[in-house]
Amino acid sequence: MAAEIVNPRSDSATDGQSVPGSPDAAPADPAFHPAFALHRGGKMAIRATVPVRDKDDLSLAYTPGVATVCSAIAEQPDLVHDYTWKSQVVAVVTDGTAVLGLGDIGPEASLPVMEGKAILFKQFGGVDAVPLALATTDTDEIVETVVRLAPSFGGVNLEDISAPRCFEIERKLQERLDIPVFHDDQHGTAVVTLAALRNAARLTKRELGDLRAVISGAGAAGVAIAKFLLEAGIGDVAVADRKGVVSPDRGDLNEVKRELAMLTNRARLSGSLESALSGADVFIGVSGGTVPEPAIASMAPGAFVFAMANPTPEVHPDIARPYASVVATGRSDYPNQINNVLAFPGIFAGALQVRASRITEGMKIAAANALADVVGDELSADYVIPSPFDERVAPAVTAAVAAAARAEGVARR
- Residues marked as catalytic: 62, 117
Edge-to-edge order in the sheet of strand 155-158: 128-133, 89-94, 155-158, 181-183
Angle, helices 361-375/184-203, rounded to nearest 10 degrees: 40
- 8 A C-beta contact, residue 133 and residue 142: no
Q: Give residues with Cβ within 8 angstroms of 55, minimum separation 6.
A: none
CA proximity to 139, closest of 113, 104, 107, 164: 164
Say how many CA atoms lie within 13 Å of 331 toward its Cβ.
19
Q: Answer for the pair 289, 309: CB distance below 8 angstroms, yes or no.
A: yes
Which among 319, 317, 278, 318 has a CA at the least distance from the CA of 301? 278
Of 181, 228, 148, 188, the closest CA to residue 357 belongs to: 181
278 CB neighbour count, 10 Å cutoff: 14
Distance CA 274, CA 245 (A): 10
Q: Which helix or strand (DSSP H or E) is residue 370 part of?
A: helix 361-375
- Cis bond leading into 77, ω under 30°? no
Q: Do the Cβ atoms of 2 and 50 come closer than 8 Å?
A: yes
Phi, psi of 212 (to 5 degrees): -115, 125
Is the omega angle on the peptide bond into residue 164 within 30 degrees of 0, that is, cis?
Answer: yes
Q: Residues 306, 199: contact at Cβ < 8 Å?
A: no
